Chains A and B, each alone.
Chain A
């Protein structure tokens, strides 16, 4: 059924919200934004399990996909979503950067690990090492966060409704940290803050509470993250190579430059 908007009589955009392997936190975040009623008036939700049991696959104008590809089933579903969607938005840390489930990306033997966990147990679908969705399909827009920020969710939807598209954030968390007027806890307390290599958009939420950024919004895009210079600073502060890699891997293990740049900073030292 084609629904039209009661005010402007244009066709309402058809939106699908999907989850692959994830905690459903991104969906929950969308479902609980303050303006969800206004949003459900403005769009038609074809699929959004957290809001409606009448969810089904099929053509949509905009698909929001959370979760990493961690099973064959995820992959089949993702390809179907891509085929059905005009615009595909990757939403959240799992979908964009693989999420915490890809923390040890490339460090361990996957089949061996799989066997350790599942043994000979029968499971319905084949497992895959967790990957960001753009490893498999074309992604049009990225909405990072773990979970995404309410203002950004509303911003994305608003731009689509306005007939334009969202601008991608690429400045680091430090930008918003300074604009918010926080003192820098990396300088003042020697905290292992990842703000300088992390995409902004959260208004430096954690630093506002005096907690260092652990990089949940993922490394800044376009290869702008200076992991090497930051690791050097951490090294100077007495942090070990392991500590630095562990911290950067939580949300950044899929950045192909990260490990190499940290190794460069430590130059074989611990």
Chain B
């Protein structure tokens, strides 16, 4: 791997350089307490200190709402409706989100190739940045606190700049095109980086191995926790809609007024809604709120074979964005018998 140093005073110039590759998306403040990835015009609005964005970056590859194709009944035609986003750059992805995207790749590219996802995925340049955990993070337990691949460039903050890891051919091209911005890594930079890594590791709240969780979730199916916690749930779906690895969607045909044309749209769905488990004949696989509540815990803690980790990357969104304060991590620990 190639390593470079970007001094702090060159950061702005580097970001402007990135805008040359296409639309730049990065975390910005969207309210007093929340952040989200948005299209960035003024690079000074980028928030390097964000904790987590409300929506996960999957929204750029698997949009919340998209038109799959148009149709015309009259001449029995399907019309491709894919809109090429052009090359775009996502700046500032944390390790859990980079790994979350790779978990999505395992479903949308390796397992059942999804053209819509794949086409966009090929257009996205990913620039990661390291972060410090807050009270909601447990990516370390999920083996998602360090991104060893899945990015074009990755920035580790030093005292006076960033240590950059170059992770792809595109990454090499980007740094080559503006190599006057970078310096060579010095021995003291490496010791700053290792010190910061140690500090980060010490900030997590738990260090256990949770590999047995998926079995315990099955074995503890009648644990009193399920009743107690699902009672608090308002079925809003926020826990899944904000999750970086949720991939459920629904499709709908929206005809036009001419009685012939129309489009098929797809949009993010959530297993916390009644409709999610509903099939032909009116049968529902998850007819009660309790069933739906349990489903998410089981789905997120299943084993993603391609990545050899769980589907949950420990980003903490489902707890921070649950309106009734249901604490997913604490609940998992109770199932494990830790609390």
Q: Specify which of B31, B234, B235, B262 is in contact with A183 (CB 8 Å cutoff).
A: B31
Residues of the B chain whose Cβ atoms lie less than 8 Å from the Cβ of A155: 254
Q: Which residues of A contact B270 (CB under 8 A)?
A: 171, 175
Mask for B245-276, Cβ within 8 A of A = 1, else 0? 00000001111111110100001101001110
Q: Is A195 an interface residue (CB 8 A)?
A: yes
| Cα of A154 to Cα of B252 in the assembled complex, Å | 15
Give bound CA distance, A224 to B277, whole Å.
13
- Please give, as numbers and ranges, the residues of chain B lying within 8 Å of A222 by CB-CB distance: 274
Q: Contacts of B259 on A, CB cut-off 8 Å?
A: 5, 8, 42, 158, 161-163
Q: Which residues of B contact A228 (CB under 8 A)?
A: 231
Q: In the bound complex, how far is the Cα of B274 from the Cα of A222, in angstroms?
A: 9
- Name the interface residues of A91-122: CB closer than 8 Å to any CB of B: none
| Residues in A neighbouring B323, C-beta threshold 8 A | 174, 184, 186-187, 196, 233
| B100: min CB distance to chain A, Å | 17
A38 to B273, CA, bound (A): 36
A137 to B246, alpha carbons, bound, how many Å? 41
**Minimum-distance CB pairs A-B, first 3:** A174-B236, A162-B255, A183-B34
> Can you give 12 A-B contacts (C-beta < 8 A)?
A158-B259, A167-B252, A175-B236, A178-B55, A181-B36, A183-B30, A183-B34, A183-B36, A184-B323, A186-B323, A226-B233, A229-B324
Among B241, B254, B257: residue with most chain A CB under 10 A: B257
Contact A232:B232 (CB < 8 A) given known A42-B259, A158-B262, A183-B54 = yes
Q: How far is A195 from B323 in the complex, measured between Cα atoms in Å?
A: 11
B242 touches A178 (CB 8 A): yes
Assembly CA distance A136 to B54 (angstroms)? 44
Minimum CB–CB distance from A195 to chain B (whole Å) comes to 7
CA distance A162 to B262 in the complex (A): 9
The reply to whether B255 and A161 form a contact with Cβ atoms under 8 Å apart is yes
Q: Are B235 and A172 in contact (CB under 8 A)?
A: yes
CA distance A228 to B262 in the complex (A): 40
Cα A38 to Cα B234 in complex, Å, equals: 41
Closest to B240 in A: A178
Q: Mark B11-37, 1 if CB is under 8 A from A, else 0.
A: 000000000000000000011111010
Q: Is the CB of B238 within 8 A of A184?
A: yes
Q: How far apart are A220's CB and chain B's nearest CB, in angstroms? A: 8
Q: A167-B252, A196-B323 are in contact. Are A158 and B267 (CB under 8 A)?
A: no
The prevalent SS among residues of B at the interface is: loop
Q: What is the 8 Å Cβ interface bit string for chain B, positions 279-317, against chain A (1 contact, 0 not)?
A: 000000000010000000000000000000000000000
Contacts of B324 in A (CB 8 A): 229-230, 232-233
Residues of B within 8 A of A175 (CB): 236-237, 241, 270, 273
Is B73 among interface residues, defined by CB-CB distance under 8 A? yes
Instruction: Select from chain A the residue with minimum beta-carbon distance to B234.
Output: A196
Is A170 located at the chain interface by the 8 A CB criterion? Answer: yes
Contact B255 A164 (CB under 8 A): yes
Q: Which of B201-229 contact A (CB under 8 A)?
A: none
Give Cα distance in the complex from A162 to B238, angstroms. Answer: 34
Among B54, B234, B267, the residue within 8 A (CB) of A181 is B54
| B258 adjacent to A42 (CB under 8 Å) | yes
Residues of chain A within 8 A of B113, CB atoms compared: none
Closest beta carbon of chain A to B289's beta carbon, Å: 7
- In the bound complex, residues from chain B placing their C-beta under 8 Å from that of A226 are 233-235, 289
Question: Closest B-chain residue to A174, C-beta based?
Answer: B236
Cα–Cα distance between A167 and B255 once the two chains are bound (Å): 12
Residues 194-213 of A contacting B (Cβ, < 8 Å): 195-197
| Interface-centre pick from B262, B270, B324 (highest chain A CB count, 10 A) | B324
Distance (Å) between the CB of A176 and the closest chain B CB? Answer: 9
Residues in B whose Cβ lies below 8 Å from that of A57: none
A242 within 8 A of B: no
- The chain B residue with its CB closest to the CB of A13 is B259
**Bound: A7/B235 CA distance, A:** 46
The reply to whether the CB of A1 lies closer than 8 angstroms to some CB of chain B is no
What is the bound-complex CA distance between A175 and B322, given in angstroms?
Answer: 13
Q: Is B321's beta carbon under 8 Å from chain A?
A: yes
